[in-house]
Structure 1
Amino acid sequence: MSLGIDIKFVNVGSMQLVNHGIPYEIINNMVGVSKRFFEMPYSEREIMYSRLYLSGQAIPCSYNQRTDGVFCWRDFLKLVCQPLPDVLPHCPSSPNDFRTLAVSYAKEVKFLFLMLVDAILESLGLMNKRNVTQKDDDKDEDEDKEEEGEILKEFEDGSQLMILNCYPPCPQPDLTLGMPPHSDYGFLTLLLQDEVKGLQIQHQKNWVTVEPIPGSFVVNVGDHLEIFSNGRYKSVLHRVLVNSMNYRISVASLHSLPFKSTIQPCPKLISQTNPRRYMDTNFSSFLEFLKSGDSTKKNFLESRKLTS
């Protein structure tokens, strides 16, 4: 993929992006306002959590604490960021610049996501960089462009969740995790992390720590991209460690198709030699899975597979 962006691959399902074009000021402001949000007394944040939840703009925890083998050592806020800028009135009212900074950040990250999607679709043969010289091909080219435009429009109108994570110092970090091993449900996750280590990616059954690079984004492939690509892209299993000394802040932006969309392998990627490997799914089936069983491993994706 050629984007004019510097890419450092962590493994086949994860990479770090630098020189991505998002101003450092916007990135730094987002980390800063997240820190200030979590520094507020919990009694104040609890009121905002309740208001956001009742408005439908906050999403409850992704993990079932009753069945998890380990409790998450973190505080967090999940916000629905689509459609922008209509999300602006639903952001926390404190700190007083939270809304402005969060929406500016969300817009920039959405644009970066769409750049990545364009490159991914091209790598899958679904977007053609044409150099047509024969006039007889004009009709087919117009039809292809229309179809490609429809695919991109779905992603432009797609879902975006922004998750602010705070991992406080833990007196016994060996006894818990910030987040247990999991893969993300969506298409791509763009993660901004501060300078404190904690994120680990599973690579060849080993856990590898992702070294923080100031101003960079960790991009993880999610379950939806694995399904959409019929297995060409693999979602990445990751977890978060905690430590006894430092707070850690991260901001995850999860992107996919609209919440009401059905996620399925792209028909153009299915053939006799590459049969369909996943059943259809949607956001409702994902939520039902979370309520009904253990979600600390890559079980949801495994439940969607038609072949081993």
Structure 2
Amino acid sequence: MMNVTRDLFKLPLEEKQKYTNLVGGKKEYRLESYGSDMDRSEWPVLDWRDQFYFIMEAESQRLDDLWPTQPPSFRDVLHRYAGRCRELADGVLREVAKVAGLREERYLADMLDEKAVTYVGLNLYPRCPRPEKVLGVRPHSDGTMLTILLADAAGLQVLRDGEWYDVPVVPGALVVNLGDTVEVMSNGLLTSPVHKVVANGERERVSVAAFFTVDPEREVEPAPELVSDKRPRLYKKMKNSDYMRELQDSLARGGRAIDKVKL
């Protein structure tokens, strides 16, 4: 997966721009396919990266015309990688349900039904001449059930007790991150960590992130069995599509989208 990702970013710029995520004469932005935050001049702080985003599931939402045809093996490798990540996500969410104390092991995993949306994001963080001036990705938490990350270099940091900590890079290892949806459904027993990517002045960084999100029309709220007199409800109900819009706004202005659903 990492090899075809590197080859994809090595394509000539004119080839990559065939799949641009800017439409309508650069007046409209969509998440899918190729782009750079450098194109989003309305954002006060820009992320130092190039990126491709692809919808994997649901199939009805997939924009196949925005999938590159080069390198030749890219589509097949991406499909197989996403499928393996989907299997891993299912297993992780079953174990997370046990940790949260849910009686039904598949309570969380079943949220990833046939209407759930899976994205895969491919990221290239170029070597930065002034890494102290920019971020690879600004601080945020993921608006997902689960995110699975593969990276080839350091740069990811997680916030804990007001301090930023480097996430070690182990060759071939995956980082699994719980998203905001799990925090809400667990009524805060499990938390979605704030994280960022710092720019690197010595080498480029490539990463592949699989984002597992629930049906946009599904309303997300704490599991009833995790709400009690001793632990009252901490989050209000919110439709996932509304939450994802709030997430995009929060990325632009700073802050956490999940704060908007806290009671």
Structure-2 residue corresponding to 1:140: none
Closer/same/farther in 2, CA of residues 155 and 119 from structure 1, 3 Å limit: same
AA matched with 1:189? T
Tell whether the 8 Å contact from 2:16 to 2:34 is kept in structure 1 after alignment.
no
Structure-2 residue corresponding to 1:260: 217
In structure 2, runs of 5+ residues without a counterpart are: none
What TM-score comes out, normalization by structure 1 length? 0.74
What TM-score comes out, normalization by structure 2 length? 0.86
C-alpha displacement at 1:275, in angstroms? 1.1
Aligned partner of 1:249 among 186, 193, 206: 206
Aligned partner of 1:71 among 35, 46, 49: 46
Structure 2 distance, partners of 1:175, 1:197, is 18
C-alpha displacement at 1:197, in angstroms? 1.1
Aligned partner of 1:175 among 127, 130, 133: 133
Structure 2 distance, partners of 1:180, 1:150, is 32
In structure 1, runs of 5+ residues without a counterpart are: 1-29, 129-147
Tell whether the 8 Å contact from 2:123 to 2:208 is kept in structure 1 after alignment.
yes
Name the count of aligned residue pairs: 256
Q: Percent identity?
A: 29
Structure-2 residue corresponding to 1:121: 97
Structure-2 residue corresponding to 1:106: 82
Structure 1 distance, partners of 2:44, 2:22, is 30
When Rg is computed on C-alpha atoms for both structures, the one with the higher figure is: 1
Structure 2 distance, partners of 1:172, 1:57, is 27
More strand as a share of residues = 2
C-alpha displacement at 1:268, in angstroms? 1.5
Structure 1 distance, partners of 2:35, 2:141, is 15
Structure-2 residue corresponding to 1:184: 142
SS at match of 1:81: strand
Closer/same/farther in 2, CA of residues 34 and 60 from structure 1, 3 Å limit: closer
Closer/same/farther in 2, CA of residues 293 and 150 from structure 1, 3 Å limit: closer
Structure-2 residue corresponding to 1:269: 226
Aligned partner of 2:11 among 34, 40, 44: 40
Deviations 1:18-73 (A, max 9, x none): xxxxxxxxxxxx1111111111111111112359999x881798989556442111
More displaced, 41-50 or 204-213? 41-50
AA matched with 1:41? P
Aligned partner of 1:215 among 155, 172, 178: 172
Equivalent residues in 2 for 1:138-149, closer than 5 Å:
none
Structure-1 residue corresponding to 2:259: 302
Deviations 1:182-218 (A, max 9, x none): 1000111111111x21111112111111110011111
Higher relative contact order (CA 8 A, sep 6+): 1
SS at match of 2:177: strand
Tell whether the 8 Å contact from 1:179 to 1:239 is kept in structure 2 after alignment.
yes
Structure 2 distance, partners of 1:72, 1:181, is 10
Aligned partner of 1:206 among 163, 185, 195: 163
Structure-1 residue corresponding to 2:55: 80
AA matched with 2:126? P
Structure-2 residue corresponding to 1:145: none
AA matched with 2:32? A
Closer/same/farther in 2, CA of residues 151 and 288 from structure 1, 3 Å limit: closer
